[in-house]
Each structure stands twice: as C-alpha cells, then as structure tokens.
C-alpha cells in the first residue's frame, strides 16, 4: 500500500524551471558560497548553479565513487571542496545501497519502495554520520563560514540534516531541500518536517517545485524579509516592463502611422504614374491610329497611281500599235506613188 498522501501545499513550478528560479534569486540575492548535500554526479536542474563564479562551494555525497567523479569534473574550480560523507545526526547509522544509486542513503529500502515499488535493496553498511555543521567547520575557515551562503539538500531525509545545521542555517539566505509532498513513514522527509525546522531559523517557505515523481518535490525557503524584497523587485520589474511595453506600443504606433502615411503617398505616386502611363498609352494609340490612317491613305494613293500608270501604259501600247499601222500605211502609199511615177 502506498503511504504517500497528497499534501495541501500546491506545486508552483516544475523541475525544468528551477535553473530560471536560481538565476532570478542569484541576481536579486547575491551569494558568495554554496553547500550542496547529495551532489550525486553533478548533473540536472538542481546543479544549475555550478556554472556560477562562486568564491567557495562544498559538494557532499555519501558515495566515494561519485565524489571522485565530481572532483574530476570540476577540478579547475578554485575554492571548491569535494567531501565523501554521510550527513545527518552525528553517530553511526546504517547506509542502504539500492538498485538506483541516486536513492542510496540513510532511508530504509522498505520505506523507499513505497515511492518506488521496483527499487531493490542490494546491501547495507554501518557508516559514521557527520552533522552538517561539523563537516562545514572542517572545510571552511570561520571567516568563510560567516559569508552568506545557499544550502541545497538533494537527499532524503532533509530535516534530519537541517536539525544539526544551526551554524550553517544562521548564514543561509536560501535553502533548497528535496522532500516528500504528503504523508509518509519516512521520518524527517515531509514538507512539514523541513518547514518546521527552517521556520525556527527565520527561513520562510517561498516555492514548491514538482519533479517527475508526483510525491517528490523541492522546497525553497528564503530568509525573513527577502520574500518581501523579491516581491518589491518583482513589482518594480513589472512596472518597468509595463512602461517598456507602453513605450514600445507607442513606438510601434508611431512606426505604423509613418508606414501608413508612406503607403498612402506611395499609392498616390503610383496612381499618378499610372495616370501618366495611361495618358502616354492614349497618345501612343492615337499616334499609331493616325499613322495607320496616313499609311492607308498612302496605300490608296499608291494603288490609284499604279492604276493610272497601268492605264497610261495601256494607252501608250495602243498608240504604239497605231503608229506602227500608220507607218505601214505610209510605206504602202510611198510604194504606190513610186510605182505610179515609174508608169508615167
């Protein structure tokens, strides 16, 4: 039977938006250092901070092979420390290894199986568990511990770690904790467990982020007054965005008006050009019609002239024939006259 029940605190965002949330918080609430418990392999949205230029960071994981990979991955980061340790209530506790290494830890497998039924228990070892305060004190100087920091707890149960982290929490401006949203048999893992501890240190819940598992989320807590500061910044930003939106709308309106006026002028110019072209075409058509008319008249005149020439040629031919006949008659008369003279 699943022991996790829905919780009245609603989710405000999903895990994919966490990097954006981190960016907003980083610019609104500048930080110098960060402590990340349950750092795993250093991947995923919860690790969005790893690209920031921080003065110091402590990455903690209970599994030595993972810490070695983190150290190799971020070896060039000055001021970063990598610690292989189980963190919680100081003393000896059983550490449970399960088929999904991300869920290996201090929570008994049978409790985890209520969340992940297919999870298998592989082995368990007795581990020395450190408090977060002792671990951080062993890594950072007192001066470094006094700097503002963020705390990310990416393992269950978060409240068990927070209960022995008074010194760390005293300087934390932001706390992000993985938790179970609903009722569960896992002690110190619920939202209410974490919220109760953090409220005692002046940290107030601000955001609940959903993950791909419906019963698992990340809570975000801010120092007293910071939520109001963020809300003020949000209001100022909204006012600036509104002013920018109005200015942009006015600019767009002015540009649209200028474009409309230019378009009207262009259309008027086109109409004028089209009228000129139409007038030219009319002139050309009239000129062409006149040329065709003149050509027709010339062709008619030429045809008449050719007819006249043909008639003249016919008359000349007839006259030539008559001349030939007249010459023949003259020659005949000459012959007759000559013969008559000879007879006389």
Whose CA is closest to 162, among 171, 174, 153?
153
User: What pLDDT is stored for residue 30 in this prediction?
Assistant: 82
pLDDT tens digits for range 250-279: 888 888 888 888 888 888 988 898 889 888
Other C-beta atoms within 10 Å of 184: how many?
Answer: 23
**Residues in the chain where the model's pLDDT stays below 50:** 1-8
Sign of CA dihedral 75, 82, 41, 27: negative
Structure tokens at 160: 């068990």
Whose CA is closest to 174, among 202, 210, 196, 216?
202
User: What pLDDT is stored for residue 182 in this prediction?
Assistant: 83
188: left (phi over 0), alpha (psi -120 to 50) or beta: left
Helices and strands: H and E segment counts in the chain: 9, 11
Structure tokens at 8: 């009245």
pLDDT tens digits for range 15-25: 999 999 999 99
Fold for the domain defined by 13-90+130-224: Rossmann fold (3.40.50)
In DSSP terms, which residues pair with 190 in a beta bridge?
Answer: 180
């Amino acid at each position: 039977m699943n022991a996790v029940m829905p919780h009245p605190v609603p989710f405000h965002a999903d895990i994919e938006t966490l990097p954006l949330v981190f960016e907003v918080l980083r610019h609104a609430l500048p930080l110098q250092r960060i402590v990340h418990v349950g750092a795993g392999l250093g991947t995923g949205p919860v690790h969005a901070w790893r690209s920031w230029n921080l003065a110091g960071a402590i990455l903690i994981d209970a599994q030595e092979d993972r810490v070695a990979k983190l150290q190799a991955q971020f070896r060039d980061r000055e001021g970063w420390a990598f610690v292989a340790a189980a963190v919680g209530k100081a003393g000896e506790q059983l550490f449970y290894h399960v088929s999904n290494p991300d869920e290996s830890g201090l929570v008994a497998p049978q409790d985890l199986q209520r969340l992940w039924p297919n999870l298998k228990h592989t082995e368990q070892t007795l581990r020395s568990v450190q408090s977060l305060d002792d671990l951080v004190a062993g890594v950072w100087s007192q001066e470094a511990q006094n700097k503002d920091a963020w705390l990310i707890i990416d393992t269950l149960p978060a409240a068990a770690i927070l209960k022995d982290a008074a010194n760390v929490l005293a300087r934390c401006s932001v706390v992000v904790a993985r938790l179970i949203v609903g009722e569960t048999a896992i002690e110190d893992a619920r939202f209410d467990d974490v919220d109760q501890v953090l409220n005692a240190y002046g940290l107030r819940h601000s955001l609940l982020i959903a993950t791909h598992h419906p019963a698992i989320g990340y809570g975000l807590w801010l120092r007293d007054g910071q939520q109001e500061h963020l809300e003020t910044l949000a209001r100022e930003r909204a006012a600036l965005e509104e002013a920018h939106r109005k200015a942009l709308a006015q600019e767009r309106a002015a540009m649209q008006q200028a474009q409309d006026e230019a378009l009207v002028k262009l259309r008027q110019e086109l109409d004028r050009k089209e009228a000129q072209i139409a007038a030219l075409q009319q002139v050309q058509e009239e000129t062409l019609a006149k040329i065709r008319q003149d050509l027709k008249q010339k062709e008619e005149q030429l045809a008449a002239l050719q007819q006249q020439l043909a008639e003249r040629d016919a008359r000349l031919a007839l006259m030539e024939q008559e001349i030939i006949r007249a010459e023949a008659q003259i020659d005949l008369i000459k012959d007759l006259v000559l013969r008559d003279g000879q007879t006389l």
